């Protein structure tokens, strides 16, 4: 017996600390972290996981220094232009979720073009960019209040409300992995994480390996199988 895992989320933490430990600049850490994403997609496809959501940039990250943000935006642009095409070639759809209007118009256009180009594949990579779980819920409430009457809202169900969230098309993750050593969600998937298994590893994101990823999946499956006995 094997437990099918449909959805996995990852908080990709530890890029800057990994870089410093390895004698590199913090920006180089972000670069290596971005390159890790292509590897992870291969692991996801091999395991036949249909949804993978990666926490790439939070709403709080906008508070970092202008120099660092400018460098990250340059990396985002390079990643979208030069790395995502290879992921799409593997028959993976790309969806960006978050407060995307905080990005430059140029980046917004690039994200829209990638989403359109990659439509229709069964496996979906959700990139959480300028994302915050609290903001997602607030934005959902705003959208809902524009379309629903007071009477509609009084009888609102969880399923109906969920349709107004950025993550409405995302299957609830069975597993949320956080690399880098911290033991918290940091405002990630507050609605969708209600019943997720939370896995925290001290491994920093650029050093996260296929072996560790697959061990996490197998350990989760073993626990579920044993609970079902």
pLDDT of residue 101: 96
- Three-class DSSP category at 87: helix
Structure tokens at 199: 């896995």
pLDDT of residue 3: 84
pLDDT of residue 150: 86
- pLDDT at 2 exceeding the cut of 90: no
- pLDDT at 191 exceeding the cut of 70: yes
Write down how long the chain is: 229
Q: What domains can you pick out in the chain, each with its CATH number? A: 7-228 (3.40.1180.10)
- Three-class DSSP category at 193: coil
The Cα-based distances of 79 to 34, 87, 229 in angstroms read 7, 11, 45
- pLDDT at 216 exceeding the cut of 60: yes
Q: How far is CA 202 from the centre of its chain?
A: 19
Q: Of 40, 98, 102, which Cα lies nearest the Cα of 73?
A: 102
Residue reference for tokens 């896995």: 199
Put simply, whether the predicted model's pTM sits higher than 0.75 gets the answer yes
- pLDDT, mean over the chain: 95
Number of neighbours of residue 79 by Cβ within 10 angstroms: 20
- pLDDT at 195 exceeding the cut of 80: yes
> What value does the mean pLDDT take over residues 111-122?
96
The pLDDT tens digits of the residues spanning 128-151 come to: 999 999 999 999 999 999 998 888
> What value does the mean pLDDT take over residues 194-222?
97
Conformational region of residue 93, where left means phi above 0, alpha means psi within -120 to 50, and beta covers everything else: beta
Residue reference for tokens 């993550």: 167
- pLDDT at 229 exceeding the cut of 60: no
Active site residues: 13, 61
């Amino acid at each position: 017996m094997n437990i099918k895992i449909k959805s996995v989320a990852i908080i990709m933490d530890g890029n800057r600390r990994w870089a410093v430990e390895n004698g590199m600049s913090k920006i180089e850490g972000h670069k290596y972290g971005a390159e890790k994403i292509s590897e992870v997609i291969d692991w996801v496809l091999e395991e036949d996981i249909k949804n993978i959501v990666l926490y790439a940039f939070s709403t709080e990250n906008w508070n970092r220094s202008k120099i660092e943000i400018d460098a990250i935006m340059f990396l985002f642009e390079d990643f979208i232009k030069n790395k995502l095409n290879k992921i799409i070639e593997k028959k993976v759809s790309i969806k960006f979720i978050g407060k995307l209007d905080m990005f430059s118009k140029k980046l917004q256009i690039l994200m829209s073009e990638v989403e359109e180009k990659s439509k229709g594949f069964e496996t979906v990579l959700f990139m959480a960019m300028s994302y915050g779980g609290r903001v997602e819920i607030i934005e959902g409430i705003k959208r809902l209040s524009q379309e629903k009457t007071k009477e509609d809202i009084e009888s609102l169900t969880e399923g109906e409300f969920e349709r107004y969230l950025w993550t409405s098309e995302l299957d609830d993750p069975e597993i949320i992995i956080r690399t880098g050593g911290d033991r918290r969600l940091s405002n990630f998937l507050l609605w969708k994480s209600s019943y997720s298994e939370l896995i925290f590893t001290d491994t920093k994101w650029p050093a996260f390996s296929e072996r560790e990823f697959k061990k996490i999946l197998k350990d989760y499956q073993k626990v579920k199988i044993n609970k079902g006995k």
